[in-house]
């Protein structure tokens, strides 16, 4: 397919995963082969809608290049023509087809697309930093809470390649915190996240593991199928105790930093195995426990271990009260969209800093809005009264 990504893509990590389920098709209509393929697609009845805003995107590109110039309609048209040369606008750039939507969109070429899409990052992120971030590969395990992190990373341009793992599918009860529609019910959470990220940036490189991370697939998740595509950073957001430990064991051996957000009291967990190769897993909260030990545990023992991992004493009172009700009056851990979205933002900010070489230390930080805002509000109300 002419117009696909210029770098070789590794095969899917899970067998039976159809590429068309989450990868867009990219066409370069400036070539005869690409044009022929694009015309065949349009004639196939697979396209439900076409979106061509290339003139507007070119106008933005022109304005980004020199924001001090106050262009008129005429000068913009002349500038667009200089960029296009003899190529008709409809044959310039990239046509992107999203099979799951049946929609075809016309976008700028890769470099220009990234230049405009991240233009508002400038002033906080310079161009060299943005280019360095796009060269990084990030793994995300757990795409319920992790969905917020994955989408925010993609939006901000933190990472150009991603590896996503989750064995679960979208259920109705996920919609209180997971950005999804009722038409997504039953979809793989990993596939859903990949689709959403590709809709933000069709030039991303994304692999999915819809069977989650297992003892058979974990090495490929960290290193790539052929061992030549290692992760630069891991975001771990799953509830499975074995995976939480096994992922950190692999990350420590490979010198990969790990981030986790619990969305209770805004807890951010940072483990800098890249600069601390002997650091205890989860800051020593589980002692010398290994993933192999977990495989022999009962369900109750695993739940206790999970509470040790997040330090039960540091949980909010509401969460501590909820723990005893799980399985009786509560079906699972309580989570709110606001906490999950906050977690995605904090994870992305921290990931960006680490990948750019800023001084981020290991440890746990609480961004507790009840304390930061609630306590101040209570004191202010007392003063007013």
SS3 percent helix, strand, coil of the chain, rounded to 5, is 45, 15, 40
Tell whether 176 and 306 lie within a shared domain: yes
pTM above 0.85, yes or no: yes
Tell whether 141 and 57 lie within a shared domain: no
pLDDT of residue 53: 98
pLDDT of residue 317: 86
With cut-offs at 50, 70 and 90, classify the pLDDT of residue 383. low
pLDDT of residue 325: 85
pLDDT of residue 20: 43
Tell whether 190 and 105 lie within a shared domain: no
β-pair partners for 259 = 235, 270
Count CA atoms within 13 Å of residue 382 on its CB side. 6
Q: Using DSSP bridges, classify how beta strands 205-209 and 233-236 pair: parallel, antiparallel or unpaired.
A: unpaired
Give the mean model confidence (pLDDT) for residues 118-124. Answer: 95
Residue 229 located in a structural domain: yes
Strand ranges in the chain using DSSP code E only, listed in sequence order: 25-27, 49-52, 94-98, 103-107, 137-141, 161-165, 205-209, 233-236, 258-261, 267-271, 363-366
Residue 380 located in a structural domain: no
pLDDT of residue 11: 45
Residue 379 located in a structural domain: no
Residue 32 located in a structural domain: yes
Tell whether 179 and 303 lie within a shared domain: yes
Strand ranges in 8-116 using DSSP code E only, listed in sequence order: 25-27, 49-52, 94-98, 103-107
Instruction: State both tokens at 323.
Output: 């723990």
User: Contact at 8 Å (CB) between 192 and 180?
Assistant: yes
Q: How many domains does the chain have?
A: 2
Give the mean model confidence (pLDDT) for residues 71-75. Answer: 95
Q: Who contacts 213 (Cβ-Cβ below 8 Å, separation ≥6)?
A: 141, 165, 221, 238, 243, 246, 247
Select the more confidently predicted residue: 115 or 381: 115
User: pLDDT exceeding 90 applies to what percent of the chain?
Assistant: 79
With cut-offs at 50, 70 and 90, classify the pLDDT of residue 292. very high
pLDDT of residue 2: 39
Give the mean model confidence (pLDDT) for residues 54-78. Answer: 95
At 321 the three-state DSSP class reads: helix
Say how far residue 6 (Cα) sits from the centre of its chain: 21
The CATH number that applies at residue 231 is: 3.40.50.720
Residue that has been written with the tokens 């979106």 in this structure: 51
What is d(CA 103, CA 48) in angstroms, rounded to the nearest whole number?
6
Tell whether 193 and 331 lie within a shared domain: yes
* Domain end call among 99, 117, 135: 117
Burial of 95 (0-12, 13-18, 19+ CB in 10 A): buried
Residue 256 located in a structural domain: yes
pLDDT of residue 312: 85
Tell whether 327 and 200 lie within a shared domain: yes
pLDDT of residue 4: 40
Tell whether 280 and 318 lie within a shared domain: yes
Q: Which domain holds residue 105?
A: 19-117
Mean pLDDT of the chain: 91
Tell whether 185 and 300 lie within a shared domain: yes
């Amino acid at each position: 397919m002419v117009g696909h990504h210029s770098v070789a893509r590794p095969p899917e990590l899970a067998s039976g995963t159809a590429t068309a389920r989450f990868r867009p098709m990219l066409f370069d209509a400036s070539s005869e082969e690409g044009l022929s393929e694009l015309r065949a697609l349009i004639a196939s009845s697979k396209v439900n809608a076409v979106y061509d805003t290339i003139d507007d995107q070119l106008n933005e590109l022109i304005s980004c290049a020199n924001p001090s110039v106050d262009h008129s309609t005429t000068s913009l048209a002349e500038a667009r023509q200089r960029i296009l040369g003899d190529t008709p606008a409809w044959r310039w750039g990239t046509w992107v087809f999203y099979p799951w939507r049946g929609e075809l969109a016309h976008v700028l070429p890769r470099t220009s697309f990234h230049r405009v899409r991240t233009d508002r990052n400038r002033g906080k992120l310079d161009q060299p930093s943005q280019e360095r971030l796009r060269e990084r590969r990030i793994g995300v395990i757990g795409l319920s809470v992790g969905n917020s992190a994955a989408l925010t990373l993609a939006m901000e341009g933190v990472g150009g390649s991603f590896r996503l793992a989750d064995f679960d599918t979208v259920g109705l009860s996920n919609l209180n915190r997971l950005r999804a529609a009722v038409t997504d019910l039953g979809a793989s959470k990993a596939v859903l996240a990949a689709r959403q990220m590709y809709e933000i940036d069709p030039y991303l490189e994304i692999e999915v593991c819809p069977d989650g991370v297992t003892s058979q697939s974990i090495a490929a998740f960290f290193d790539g199928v052929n061992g030549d595509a290692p992760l630069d950073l891991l975001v771990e957001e799953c509830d499975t105790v074995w995976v939480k430990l096994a992922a950190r064991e692999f990350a420590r051996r490979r010198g990969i930093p790990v981030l986790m957000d619990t969305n209770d009291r805004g807890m951010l967990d940072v483990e800098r195995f890249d600069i601390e190769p002997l650091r205890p897993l989860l800051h020593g909260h589980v002692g010398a426990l290994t993933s192999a030990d977990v495989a022999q545990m009962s369900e109750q023992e695993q739940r206790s271990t999970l509470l040790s991992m997040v330090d039960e004493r540091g949980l909010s009172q509401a969460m501590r009260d909820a723990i005893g009700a799980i399985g009786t009056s509560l079906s699972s851990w309580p989570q709110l969209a606001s906490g999950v979205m906050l977690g995605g933002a904090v994870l992305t900010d921290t990931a960006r800093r680490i990948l750019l070489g800023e001084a981020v230390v290991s440890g746990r930080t609480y961004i507790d809005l009840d304390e930061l805002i609630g306590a101040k509000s209570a004191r202010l109300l007392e003063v007013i009264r």
